[in-house]
Structure 1
């Protein structure tokens, strides 16, 4: 049994070595293909171009260190190694072998000692686009570069060897033959007679100028986007798919940096559509999700503050799609942008979008609960409340005493929706908050939840001397909460307050009656109803009579059975 290149195979170990060598050569060829394409697509200082070049250098030199030589035999559409086909493409742009074959090269040989500079020169020759009328083919350019460790076999030599049925030495160079070609005198070429040139008319010149101007003013980006979309949607291996996916992600990052959010969103939605499509293989869908946002830096995200504040047509759906693409890796940067955006409507949309996209990673927001900017802390609390995250209760409780009332308001809002009993207990601290609206809101929430452990604290505050200095609205809120939580047990006290008569401090007496009525109408028991009736008789003909009448009316409406549809009409 023998190998395809004529070397004897002694056993299974040699077969394994052959497979490893073929795999290594395939990797070398693919790395050269990618690097050659990078020479065409990117400027010399582009990081992607430098990455592909370095990868080709590493794989080629590694192969040579292990096997000593790497010889690729090229046909019009295929490239082989040791007689085994390792690449096939009918697209000239996707094949180095096609260009080598077209210029008369049948074998390309890399030898031990190959330097990185030689690989770069080779890639520059086979990778760059050149005008069709240039006189320099690949053979000539290789000879002019004088690359000692890159040799080749020409078609004429290849045919001659085949005719003689001899083995061409792998390390034979064609440079001497090329030198003889250049030393051979060339017969003078007869120059063709110049044809007369017909000048353009004024109308033709104007039309040509108009077409040229229109073409130059066109934005090439939409065409580039269509090409990328068509390539990604086509059939290709995972390696090549990953390369173009990286190019697309980098393009999205560049568009965002330039503030072209509309164009970036077109590509983002195309990728999101592919990631959700059953027609795309699962492996590629996972590659799209894993690479999402990889081409965007933190600096680019921070630069979004300006378009967020200036663009008028950026919708909530746009922000949701953008934030989903950026992923949790950029949550911190988006929060920084939230802290800088000036437009109130945009801040509201950012908060809603972050709450929608951050459901799976609420911990990304936790560090901002300790931020020194009260408005950012408030917005982060709003996001966590919308998400319904229950794991940050300890961090939120630490903000109950925050110096800014706007932050404390959001803390109370978070505690109101939290099912943990500790949240109700912490709400009691708001009964002594310096902000009256927060005190009233906390009272109403505790009463509505019928959380009776709050009753001792409420009674203690009512009995304090300082309670008399609070507004009538807050006093009524405390007594309403007292009535809801204490029930019949507080009716005797409220009855005494409702019918008490005094000659001094009439305004204080009226306030006590008002507070007593506020509490009684929340008890909703026969005893409370009877107390309200006595109070109505006591204050008949006074300004308080109307207030008691409204309280009794609320009783009737609460106890009346609902009317059916016919009665309602």
Structure 2
């Protein structure tokens, strides 16, 4: 291909109004104002327009990616291959790509094929600002030229007012063989020339010179030229208001950094739904991870929570994508770090930390249980205890498993936390304790069951506890059953007393059993006690365990006033050993003179 002719020199004093503007494709909105939005479907109604749109978007995305990734990154190679494939497809299918560059759009044959109103991202804005007005790409375009073009554009994406040359200069230096540009000096008039200015018909006033004409014709939000200040003023000291000093200090202080992090997160998430040049999850997630790592490292808990809320509000509707973005912000390690940073002496958990735990994925209960079990300081920490209570609900099985692993006082403390956090779960745990072999947990479970509403499930557990290996557990269970007047426990208790009277049943337990039987069913208890005190036949009187049965009967008769009870106690006081005889006499005295038996009498 022959060498392209050099670009035309700048047409000083000209405005956009001096040249006919091609119309955008049918269905596109007017592109003059940056606030207008052009849907992706409107960019390229023809096949050539659609292919050009795809190629330019790939070019812009690849150039911007050089800011985020190292040039040797595998993703960069993928972006480059995509850009190359799209340009080769267009040039092979449609031939030369002759583009007109506008402030916010790029036009191909009267059809808008690229539009982006974000000045920080827009390829059109970068080219137009530096003076590029026309870009022609020949079918013979080579791979090295694509690489060089992307490199030039990526330089201009990295900074707006850095010291590098503008795009026009860099393109001319590159001396492309198959890329041609047309350029002007940018949005600056070299001289004031009133001769070519025309006042629009019907307007009250028009531009007075070429500079004003360019400013009037520039799109909204465009970078206007610097004004020339002709006023003269004496230099003098001026007192800066404290409010202004505070504002300036805040801009340069660390307090502004969390706000900037939040703003960056919002812009990244908005880029995921950009219809013209969307970002991908692989673009956004690593940057979000860096943002949140900074906020965690500097203990900006409230700012981190704001970022998390922003992700939940604005993330794509796809559940998998939302979880991936949320996981890039917070996890259980982040929560653990904040807990350790606060320290065990913290009197209460900050509301932001509690909310963060409810949002962050991960096993927070496991983290807190590890801290609780691993250190006496954390075990007594109000912070750890409060956070544990927020995580225990519905996790009874896991808490009980850790209880048994801990043992001793620590297991009791953990169970008491469970009783406050999840009373229903604590009932399940207590019922399980009663059927176990750990006496401390059994007694703690019984103490808790005394405080909750009684039911059949608890009653069955207490009856089962009558066969527990610990006498203290059996006595405590009997006391609870007696207060509840659990008649269904009558027969199991009678069997238990008879079986245990020959050995394992203690006097204290026998007395508790007698009181319970009298409470369960007085009608059935009275003849039973008579049989135990005065058994029929010689063999009955000589049967082993008779003394234990009589102790139970004496304690039960104390709650069954009447002539029959008095006669039995009187007979027993004359026909038994010293201790039992004295107990029978004391019980008989209380039955005959109940007022004297009261402590206050």
Q: What TM-score do the two structures reach when normalised by structure 2? A: 0.54
Alignment correspondent of 1:126: 156
Match of 2:131 among 104, 122, 144: 104
Q: Give 1:303-314 correspondences, 5 Å limit.
A: 303-310=337-344, 312=346, 314=348
Q: How many residues align?
A: 462
**Residue by residue, what CA displacement relative to the aligned partner does 1:321-378 show, whole Å, maximum 9, x if unpaired?**
122211356554454345443444223312221135xx5xx59948965984444798
Q: How far did 1:125 drift? A: 0.9
8 Å CA contact retained: 1:77, 1:90: yes
Could you tell me how far apart the structure 2 residues matched to 1:430 and 1:56 are? 74
Q: Give 1:139-178 correspondences, 5 Å limit.
A: 139-141=168-170, 152-156=179-183
Could you tell me how far apart the structure 1 residues matched to 2:417 and 2:237 are? 69
Could you tell me how far apart the structure 2 residues matched to 1:316 and 1:546 are? 61
Match of 1:77 among 101, 104, 118: 104
8 Å CA contact retained: 2:49, 2:108: no
Match of 1:321 among 355, 363, 368: 355
Q: How far did 1:126 drift? A: 3.2
**Residue by residue, what CA displacement relative to the aligned partner does 1:112-158 show, whole Å, maximum 9, x if unpaired?**
646998798457513322536x35213445677x6989x7542249x
**Residue by residue, what CA displacement relative to the aligned partner does 1:146-180 show, whole Å, maximum 9, x if unpaired?**
6989x7542249xxxxxxxxxxxxxxxxxxxxxxx
Alignment correspondent of 2:539: none
Alignment correspondent of 1:28: 58
Alpha carbons of 1:533 and 1:454: their partners in 2 closer, same or farther (altered >3 Å)?
closer
Could you tell me how far apart the structure 1 residues matched to 2:182 and 2:490 are? 96
RCO higher in 1 or 2 (8 Å CA, sep ≥ 6)? Answer: 2
Q: Does 1:436 align with 2:472?
A: yes
8 Å CA contact retained: 2:479, 2:516: yes
Give ranges in structure 2 of 5+ residues lacking alignment: 1-24, 26-44, 91-96, 185-231, 536-546, 571-583
Alpha carbons of 1:312 and 1:367: their partners in 2 closer, same or farther (altered >3 Å)?
closer
Match of 2:259 among 202, 212, 223: 223
Q: Does 1:493 align with 2:533?
A: no
Match of 2:167 among 131, 134, 138: 138
Give ranges in structure 1 of 5+ residues lacking alignment: 5-14, 40-48, 158-194, 275-279, 501-506, 521-527, 554-569
Alpha carbons of 1:371 and 1:245: their partners in 2 closer, same or farther (altered >3 Å)?
farther
8 Å CA contact retained: 1:304, 1:337: no
Could you tell me how far apart the structure 1 residues matched to 2:354 and 2:448 are? 24
Q: How far did 1:410 drift? A: 6.0
Could you tell me how far apart the structure 2 residues matched to 1:399 and 1:509 are? 26
Q: How far did 1:303 drift? A: 2.5
Deviates more, 1:427-436 or 1:345-354: 427-436
8 Å CA contact retained: 2:529, 2:557: yes
8 Å CA contact retained: 1:78, 1:89: yes
**Residue by residue, what CA displacement relative to the aligned partner does 1:437-495 show, whole Å, maximum 9, x if unpaired?**
6862587379849483795267425734555547x4x6665445544555633333346
8 Å CA contact retained: 1:252, 1:264: yes
Query: Which of the pair is proportionally richer in helix?
Result: 1
Could you tell me how far apart the structure 2 residues matched to 1:419 and 1:60 are? 72
Larger Rg: 2
Alpha carbons of 1:447 and 1:248: their partners in 2 closer, same or farther (altered >3 Å)?
farther
Q: What TM-score do the two structures reach when normalised by structure 1? A: 0.56
Alpha carbons of 1:99 and 1:542: their partners in 2 closer, same or farther (altered >3 Å)?
same
Could you tell me how far apart the structure 2 residues matched to 1:456 and 1:86 are? 89
Alpha carbons of 1:339 and 1:271: their partners in 2 closer, same or farther (altered >3 Å)?
farther
Q: How far did 1:104 drift? A: 3.0
